[in-house]
Structure 1
Amino acid sequence: MTHILLVEDEVKLARFVELELNYEGYQVSVAYDGLTALMAARELHLDLVILDWMLPGLSGLEICRRLRSIVDKVPIILLTVKDEVSDRIVGLDAGADDYLVKPFSVDELLARVATRLRKSQQADVAEVLEFEDLSLNRRTRQVYRDQRLIELTGKEFDLLEYLLTHPRQIITCDRILEEVWGYDFMSDANIIEAYIYYLRLKLEANNEKCLIQTVNGVGYTLRD
């Protein structure tokens, strides 16, 4: 049975979400603070984590970062009242795979859960992706440009990984949002532009040629 860890300090909301997840057939463990969540992550075999940003003691962001060292491949959905693009970038860079703003529809949460679980189960088995002098190792999460190691944030890595799985294809912004962020982010589509900018800065830091090309009015492509 799919096992989900729900980390939420609002007891009534936690109980409501737990019951809805149970009804969908998921096994749910609930933690009301960050330290309990970290202990559960170490002891349980988890398939997904739903994590509130605002927690007593350790913040949800710090918990997210620590969870990533324990359950590196497990999807994390972050719940928060923060809705600015900058906040979303911070949350995603902390290691979250998805982001849901409170108050939210339980149907939307269930859809996000199903999407993230499906993507996790369908992950490509290829360990190393390469294009020109660029290589990405999915297991070690290391990226090299020729012999130069490039340090990327979690979401920068995810975006580059997606581009590397579709070389020379023109990928629309809508498709990138759906596949990398996993939900409709149309009102904040400029988040892709921001991440592409960050990626280019790092990939071309030594004046290497540009590999990520902009297709005006459409999206992006990885090509020489």
Structure 2
Amino acid sequence: MTKILLVEDNRDVAGILFDYFESEGLELDYADNGELGLKLGLEGHFDLILLDLMLPRMDGLEVCRRLREAGISTPVLMLTAMDSKDDQLTGFEQGADDYLTKPFDLDILHVRVQALIKRFQGKVASHRLKYGSLEIDQKQRLAYRDSRKLALNPTTYSILELLCKAAPNVVTKQEIAEKIWDGEEINTDALRSHIYQLRNQLDKPFPTAMLITVPKVGFKLEEV
């Protein structure tokens, strides 16, 4: 059964989400503060974490950051009443995979949740992908460049996997959106943030860049 960790201090919102997702056949675990949410996220095994941004004891950004630092790759969908672009980009920078502003439609939330879980579970073959100095273990969802492990969250991993499968050809922004946002309209700011994070892992520690921007089109991998 699909298992979700809900970290939300508003009991009314939590109750609504519990009723909705349990009616859809999903199992939920619950924390009403950031410290407990972090503890459960580190110790448990979840298919997805629904994480409120404004939490007592430890805010959602800190929870997300610490989970990623600990190597937890479970998808994180942030829920927040703050809807500015800076708030969203900060969430992505701390390792969130998606972002939904309150109040939200439960059916839209469900679609986002299913898309993230589907992507995280992989539906990939067990073989490895290789392009130049880049190697991807699709079964373990791990990526290496020059044998150095890259610290990728589920979204940046999925983008890199898509680019590697197509390399050296260009992958358009629309093609990335179809994989990452399940066919929804391109979230330009979110895509820019994920590409920035991917560059920090794939290119920054190395003398040459592999991730190339093709202006007004998309991105490709290039081995120099």
Measured against the shorter chain, the TM-score band is: 0.7 to 0.9
1:151 Cα deviation after fit: 6.4
Identity score, percent: 32
Match of 1:109 in 2: 109
Q: Distance in 2 between matches of 1:40 and 1:184?
A: 31
Q: Distance in 2 between matches of 1:74 and 1:205?
A: 25
Match of 1:132 in 2: 132
In the superposition, relative to structure 1, how do residues 134 and 46 fare at CA in structure 2: closer, same or farther (>3 Å)?
Answer: closer
1:221 Cα deviation after fit: 2.4
Q: TM-score, normalised by structure 2?
A: 0.78
1:156 Cα deviation after fit: 4.7
1:125 Cα deviation after fit: 5.0
Taking the TM superposition and a 5 Å limit, the aligned residue runs for 1:63-212 are 63-68=63-68, 72-126=72-126, 129-136=129-136, 139=140, 141=142, 143-144=144-145, 146=146, 149=148, 154=153, 156-180=156-180, 184=184, 186=186, 188-193=187-192, 195-196=194-195, 199=198, 203=203, 208=208, 210-212=209-211
Match of 2:48 in 1: 48
1:16 Cα deviation after fit: 0.5
Q: Distance in 1 between matches of 2:199 and 2:54?
A: 33
Match of 2:217 in 1: 218
In the alignment, is the contact (CA less than 8 A) between 1:79 and 1:102 conserved in 2?
A: yes
Q: Deviations over 1:78-125 (max 9, x none)?
A: 112333343323212322222111121111111111112222223435
Amino acid at match of 2:18: E
Q: Distance in 2 between matches of 1:203 and 1:10?
A: 41
User: Which sections of structure 2, spanning at least 5 residues, go unmatched?
Assistant: none
Q: Distance in 1 between matches of 2:41 and 2:192?
A: 34
In the superposition, relative to structure 1, how do residues 129 and 83 fare at CA in structure 2: closer, same or farther (>3 Å)?
Answer: farther
In the alignment, is the contact (CA less than 8 A) between 1:150 and 1:203 conserved in 2?
A: no
In the superposition, relative to structure 1, how do residues 84 and 171 fare at CA in structure 2: closer, same or farther (>3 Å)?
Answer: farther
Match of 2:13 in 1: 13
Q: Tell me, what secondary structure is at the counterpart of 2:20?
A: helix
Q: Tell me, what secondary structure is at the counterpart of 1:165?
A: helix
Q: Distance in 1 between matches of 2:58 and 2:92?
A: 17
1:140 Cα deviation after fit: 8.8
User: Which sections of structure 1, spanning at least 5 residues, go unmatched?
Assistant: none
* Count of residues paired in the alignment: 220
In the superposition, relative to structure 1, how do residues 83 and 178 fare at CA in structure 2: closer, same or farther (>3 Å)?
Answer: farther
1:185 Cα deviation after fit: 5.2
Q: Distance in 1 between matches of 2:189 and 2:44?
A: 38
In the superposition, relative to structure 1, how do residues 127 and 35 fare at CA in structure 2: closer, same or farther (>3 Å)?
Answer: farther
In the alignment, is the contact (CA less than 8 A) between 2:142 and 2:150 conserved in 1?
A: no
Q: Distance in 2 between matches of 1:8 and 1:129?
A: 39
Q: Distance in 1 between matches of 2:42 and 2:130?
A: 33
Runs of 4 or more off by more than 6 Å in structure 1?
none
1:76 Cα deviation after fit: 1.6
Q: Tell me, what secondary structure is at the counterpart of 1:168?
A: coil
Q: Tell me, what secondary structure is at the counterpart of 1:82?
A: coil
In the superposition, relative to structure 1, how do residues 63 and 198 fare at CA in structure 2: closer, same or farther (>3 Å)?
Answer: closer
